[in-house]
Amino acid sequence: MTALGAADPISLAVEATPAQNAPDTGGLADFLRGFFGPLFLVIVSIVAIFFLFTREITRFMQFIILAIFIGIVFYVPGIIEVIAVALARAMGVSTE
């Protein structure tokens, strides 16, 4: 603390840095992908079989296309960032 009662900016910066024993969340995405991935595939399979048995080919194709796009976003790590950067560059926004 300074004489006027304000905190020293350097000490605030040191206190604001994350602790050394912070939980590692790097494996969280892999865990969630491993847990929800098979569940996603089972649900897609059940709905696809339902559409095939009821002979709703148009809805089946719409569902499969939607499931493919959702699967790509779900299974490919970093795809959201890649798409966001590509869209920003296409609109002329600097991404650096």
pLDDT(4) > 70 = no
Alpha-carbon span 96 to 89, nearest angstrom? 10
Q: Is residue 18 part of a domain?
A: no
pTM, whole model, 2 decimals?
0.54
Instruction: For residue 77, name the pLDDT band (cuts at 50, 70, 90).
Output: confident
pLDDT digits (tens, 9 = 90+) for 25-47: 667 767 877 888 888 889 999 99
Total domains in the fold of the chain: 1
> In this structure, what token pair is assigned to residue 89?
């560059």
pLDDT digits (tens, 9 = 90+) for 38-73: 888 899 999 999 988 898 889 999 999 999 988 888
Domain with 65 in it? 27-90
Q: Is residue 32 part of a domain?
A: yes
